Homo-oligomer: A and B are copies of this chain.
Amino acid sequence: MVTLPAPLAAWHAIADRRDATDPADLLADLLAHDVVFRSPAVHTPQEGRALTTAYLSAALVVLGPTLRYRREWWDDTSAVLEFEAELDGFTVHGVDMLTWNDAGRLVDFTVMVRPFTGLTRLMELMAAQLAG
Contacts and interface: CB of A to CB of B under 8 A. Distances in A.
Oligomeric state, in number of copies?
A: 2
Interface string A74-114: 11001110100000000101110100000000000011111
A118 B78 contact: no
Contacts of A40: 114-116
Contacts of A114: 38-41, 43, 110-113
Interface string A36-54: 0011111100000000000
A40 B93 CA distance: 9
A79 B82 CA distance: 12
A115 B22 CA distance: 27
Contacts of A112: 93-95, 112-114
